Structure 1
Amino acid sequence: MLGVLAEYSSAGAGGAAAALLLCLALGWFGVLAVRLSLADIRTRRLPNVLILPSYPAAGLLLGGASLAAGEPERVGGLLVGSAALWGGFFALRLLNPAGLGFGDVKLAGLLGLYLGFLGAGHVFAGVVATFVAGGLWGAGLILSRRGTGRTAVPFGPFLFLGAAVAMLAPGLQ
């Protein structure tokens, strides 16, 4: 994501507008990451009041950035990324309702906008990073005897962590 931001920043007037929109989108990502992660840790819930309005906000900011930069193909990417993650996590929810909440499904779709903006490689990397981080946390709980394989773990923070790792990863397409 930083590479895209650097490209936009050095691309003249359209690039400056694109960079500003991308910075706003990233700022919103940061605010959401903190607020939703804390809410999930405290209550095991990801509030719709934060997630649902974030879909159009992130879509408009990221889509606007891509159009201002003359890269309309990114709009399709962010839509496909969102649909892919929402659909994939919805399928996981259907397979194991106790293991994944519907808030996680909605959050995955939202994060798919950000990752899809960058490309399919980032979408895949975000999912892998999410499950690796969550799995390591779960293994740590089991090994430290603070939990079992059935211990409920808030998954929202791991979704944000996985997305952030993928967004910062260079060279993915």
Structure 2
Amino acid sequence: MLPLAAGLLGLALGPWLARATVRLAARDRAAVPGRVRVALTAAVTGPLLAGAAALTGARPLLAGVLWAAAAAVVLAGVDLAVHRLPDVVTLPALAVLAAAVTADALTDGTGRRALTGLLLGAAAFAVGVGLRLLAPAGLGFGDVKLLAPLGLLLGWWGGGQLVLTGVLLGLLAGALVSLVLLATRRAGWRTAVPFGPPLLVGAAAALVLAGPL
């Protein structure tokens, strides 16, 4: 019943998330999403939240994972549209996830996992900052900040190995997308490709591989 309830919640949130996406992308509070975007957003969010509930189960961590999953939908939509990952979405997702991890530690005795996740989230952010300084054109600062919640969640779930797996799968997804765009002549070698969606896909794939599915 929990995955079903989470899936229905995702479907209900679809119109609101679609509206948030277009308004953040356009920086216009009056922007209204089209029917196709609303339908696609609901179609993605419903199964995503259902899968998150099936993977996490009924525990305090679930609230943070559901929030992060809904935030991921908005972040991916904005990044695909305007190559930007808004702090107003990323930072609250990090805060809610950190609070959920802390609550889970207090109620379910997962203190060591919580500490591991928090440390790896900070480490992922630090590595991202270093990469940003070394190659500013290769990684946006929005991508760097996104590494913090992804590192926290993946670190809680499977330690450093799962963080590396998620990042590597994200890099692979980004490379595949770039190759497809090049092959179809929709992009050139110097065309900027949004890196947020591949990172999110890589993290989701790593969680599925590490979970009961």
Structure 2 contact 116–155 (Cα < 8 Å) conserved = yes
Deviation above 2 Å: which 4+ runs of structure 1?
Answer: 1-6
- Indicate whether 1:101 and 2:140 are aligned: yes
Structure-1-length-normalised TM-score: 0.84
- Residues 128-159 of structure 1: CA deviation (Å, up to 9, x unaligned): 10100001111111122211221111111111
Question: Per-residue CA shift, 1:34-77, capped at 9, x if unaligned?
Answer: 11111111111111111122222110102212332112101111
| Partner of residue 16, structure 1 | none
**Residue in structure 2 matching 1:5, options 56, 59, 63:** 56
Root-mean-square deviation (CA, aligned residues, Å) is 1.8
| Candidates 143, 154, 166, aligned match of 2:183 | 143
Q: CA deviation at 1:169?
A: 1.2
| Structure 1 alignment gaps of length 5 or more | 7-18
CA distance in 2, matches of 1:57, 1:85: 18
For the residue of structure 2 that corresponds to 1:169, the secondary structure is helix
Q: State the 1:101 CA deviation.
A: 0.8
- The runs of 5 or more residues in structure 2 that have no matched partner are 1-51
Look up the SS of the partner of 2:210 in the other structure. coil
Distance in 2 of aligned mates of 1:141 and 1:161: 18
- Retained in 2: the 8 A contact 1:63–1:74? no
Matching residue's letter, 1:94: L
Equivalent pairs: percent with the same residue?
40
CA distance in 1, matches of 2:55, 2:105: 10
The Cα shift of 1:2 comes to: 7.5
| Greater RCO (Cα-Cα under 8 Å, separation 6 or more) | 1
